Amino acid sequence: MIKHQGGCHCGKVRFTTEYDPLLVYQCNCKRCRRLMSTVNVGTFFGAPEVEVNGNLKEYVTPGGSGMPFHYFFCPECGTRIYGEAEAIEGVRMIPIGAYDDPTPFEPKLEVFTELKLNWIRDNGCIQASFEGMGLAERIEALMENLDQRN
């Protein structure tokens, strides 16, 4: 049964999943702000847990870890559908703006807080904050949630 779904602005790319995200995070880094035109709030899933239909274009750039980060987007309208970091293999990161209904998703973890814009406020949902990329902590949270899922 489809639990969450979304897609691009023009409708040529769609995705579905039967799962809740392993983690919802907020990234405050400059790279995400530039690529997303805002702060990035995203969801983590195991790559096989998300089905994507439609053609995608790929853009690769160094991620916060220094390892490549792959962005996949609609070649027609440019909407980012998901990303994959080589530093966290097997995981897809879907921005909440790509969902048909993003309201269930509140970030539990935020990274790069030293770069956070001063007008962004926590509504009480953030449980962990890291000045840097918090990679080890994100992997730990993902693994804990994956263990609970299995």
Q: How far apart (Å, rounded) are the C-alpha atoms in residues 137 and 83?
A: 19
In the prediction, which pLDDT does 36 show?
75
Q: Is 141 within the bounds of a domain?
A: yes
What does the pLDDT read at residue 114? 81
Report d(CA 18, CA 2) in Å as an integer.
Answer: 5
The answer to whether residue 119 sits within a structural domain is yes
Q: Is residue 3 part of a domain?
A: no
pLDDT at 121: 79
- With a cut of 90, say whether residue 137 has pLDDT above it: no
CB atoms within 10 A of CB 140: 11
Binning pLDDT at 50, 70 and 90, where does residue 135 land?
A: low
Looking at per-residue confidence, does 29 or 55 come out higher? 55
**pLDDT (tens digit per residue) in 3-17:** 999 999 999 999 999
Summarised one tens digit per residue, pLDDT across range 54-92 is: 999 999 998 877 889 999 999 999 999 999 999 888 999
CATH number, domain with residue 53:
3.90.1590.10
Where in the sequence is the domain holding 121, given as residue range(s)? 8-149
Could you give the number of structural domains in the chain?
1
The DSSP bridge partners found for residue 84 are 70
Beta strands 109-111; 128-129: pairing state: parallel
- Tokens 């790319």, residue? 13
3-state SS record for the chain: CCCEEEECCCCCCEEEECCCCCEEEEECCHHHHHHHCCCEEEEEEEHHHEEEECCCEEEEEECCCCCEEEEEECCCCCCEEEEEEHHHCCEEEEEHHHECCCCCCCCCEEECHHHCCCCCCCCCCCCEECCCCCHHHHHHHHHHHHHHHC
Quote the pLDDT of residue 5.
Answer: 98
Q: Is residue 44 part of a domain?
A: yes
Spatial separation of the C-alpha atoms in residues 70 and 57, rounded to whole Å: 10
Is 92 within a domain?
Answer: yes
Token pair belonging to 97: 């703006």
Task: Note the pLDDT of residue 79.
Answer: 95
